[in-house]
Structure 1
């Protein structure tokens, strides 16, 4: 709201309004001043509305503003309520009503000016009813409402639209006569320069041998380049066609895939499911047709009849309102007395009323659920349309098939699993690579040591005369080690199996002994739980019935409260409206009394203060001003011929000087060209 007020104040302080407001002064404006500001903004959009609202009745002001706002296609905001509340707020100068209107008007001032201008020619004129009381006016109005006249009227409006569009296009095209003349003059200058260059080049080329042959070759080169460009364009068009063919093939494949999926879905669908779905839809549609829609139609007709009655009734005064309020209070008291009497006399009827209330609540819930179902269906249809559009856009961009629903969920879960496995494997690979590097280094060191020891051992065996002894010894040790490892594994597995069986038996016995007392305690608790559930169901049924009755009473009281609040607000608004009319009438009466007093008073100073005297003085001043202007016009007409001759002589003098300037520039250019040719001849002589 603060941003809205800042924008309004900023726009009002600029041209053409120049109000010099700030946020505090604008927010503290009186209702009449705020209405005057709104009228000034409307007058800027359409000059017909430049009036002082103090000289106008409030009904006429509201009617005029609503008319122009309707032409400008303004829609009241949701917080302002319906049209009647908007009209009342506009009449009393309410800030929550006028501030959004000002914000909307100041946002689109230029666009609304154009719309208001067009409305003068495109909105049909309506003759007021007070003018139709005259017979001649009524006959002319009937003639104007004939079919031929209306057709001509509409034809003229269409012609105006076409001409206005053409005018706007010409304005937006940016082509003006001055610009075209400038372009033509610039093109002529360029043409002169090009002809001069061509003449210079011809003079230079004439001295060269075989210049005709060279010109022919240059012409052929230019033709070949043009042909090359044409062939490249054809090549590009063929590539584009190939791409379109590929896209069409991809679309065909996607359509075939969709057709295949739809056929599979139709094949997998069971007739029982389809019948059940159709039965549900038939029940829902039959409920809508037989119960919901007729009730809504009946309510609409009832409200329409009430509104027609209200419209047809004459305007009500304060006495009528007080009588109606007293009658409403009497009828309400009688209704309360009858309800109390009925509740005291017939207890069976109270039970029936409770069941009726429950039935009404259930019917209301049923209606709400049906509305929710209808809204959900519409939302599902809209979402399906959006999904189809998004799928088409994605297919046009990517060309690949898009997963849906459960397939996408499975794909995401599979990706998550793969990502976790990938992270674990990558960590293991990093650890293994580090360990592999360490082990490779240790292996190299050990191999080096082993080779050194083997060389020493072989030298010692050769010295002692027992070469090959170490190899046989290592083979025997390796075989014995393998045999011992196999024996140890067999014994270890048998011991583990026996220990596992013993542990399982002991655990089973311990759990059985521990659960025995718990099972004994659980049996009576189960019986008690069944009894408590039965009691809970009974209490819950009683609670639901009592809650339904209280809910129905609360809804009735709430409706009664709402109706009373609406009546109170309507009475308050009418009270403020009447007070406003009263104040305006008192102000007008006071002004007329002051005017009569000033006009009748014998004092000349007092008479001068009257509006009539002021207007007469203004008329006399304007007449004197008109005489002076006519005299000046006469003098201007007398001296107009001489002045125009002098202007023509000055223009001819300017043209003559411009021609001399051009001749001087041409002579200077020719001298420079001759100097260049002379320098070129000297260079050729030197060569």
Structure 2
């Protein structure tokens, strides 16, 4: 059952469904949600089934799904042969009914699409009675019915002819039975092959998952081997600081900015469309506000009031530090994302290399040893490459010397030809060389001929003597061979007769053995089915016993007069939890009411405090300014007295 659910979840997460389920979420679906999933799969097979289950009556849903499943030739499993129970389970969204249907549909989606498409043209349409009153409709309907009856008669005749032809064959009943068994076994073989392929796919996915987990375990062990408690604590503290900064400062700011942008965009959308005149008015207002701001700044400068106070430096520094902090946080986030992407790429490349050549990616000390081996091999390669380069250079020199010698030989031959032409004996050197070469060849051939003639005469003498010796030695053996040939013929005849007897006996034994094997196989299958049914019933009985025990315990605890046992009851615990949650909700609603009532006065008080703070800050600035002016006056007065003394 778990393999069935795994297959369903895997198919639903792929194209074209993209449900993003896991085993827990799929198993925890409500009946209506499960029916909607089944309807989505049927809609993928037949687009006419695109319906929202909530907007349809349960009887209509069951009728529609059952008609399509009948067209698709779905047969309920062995524990759902009763169509009433199957229909009821389909209406209420029962998992034991819908899970097998989903498994069957998702196994052969493409095949069922073709069948659903062709069913439109092959299913006979039921014409209402009021339309049959029309003569043309009635005639076409009758013609259709007559054509179908003719086809039926032809098929019946063909079947009868085939039956008569088969009845003439000996043991036709037995052969039909064997053919039926063969068809059943072929269907079973196809089912087993499909199951084997599914198990192979599951094994492949499980192996990949195991490899990923092993790689993660290796990396974690490698990281934990070099780590100390102090470094781990420091790393965790840094991560906590970073996460707390992101949660408490960065994300709220971004959220506020997004909210402001959304509010501004909503405001812009809600306002009517602006024309060119409206834009000109807004530009004029902006210019007026800018001029007013500039005038206020000039007035403030004329009063010798600084635009920014002493705290402006600290504010600037704080803003710079906050911007740097935000930038570093963004860089750290990008680096983490890059690291995770690179780790995924590394794991993917490792799996690809493992699938390609069956080797794993080296890490740590193994990689260092591999690098050292490569370095040693590279030094050897460089030495060999240097030796090859030397040989190539020497080969080039020898080739050049050969070319020079050939050129010198050609020059000498040319000079010799010119001298022969002058003397009137052109071609003398060539003819002399040819004569010397031909004479040398003739002498060699004469020597070979002499040697071969002497050897052949000696070989003929030896062969004649050997033939005479062999004839004298083989004469008695030939006489014995004639007698043995006659015995061999007699024995071969007997062997053929025995072989035919053996083949007939072996064929009979083989047929008996195949029958016994089929019977044994059928009995084993029956035994396995009965054992599985027995185990299933035992498990169901145990589950029912446990549920019955729980129900009796709950009833005892609920009926008993002892308050402690009543408190142990699940109903009492749930009622207690419900009462606690209701009290808590009541308190929270009261608290919310109090906060809402005190929100306006509190905001006014906070505004008054801010105004008071600004007032005190202004007084402080005025006091500091007055104190600075008095100190400057004293300095000026002291300077005047000094001048008088001088």
TM-score of the two chains, using structure 1 as the length reference: 0.30
TM-score of the two chains, using structure 2 as the length reference: 0.31
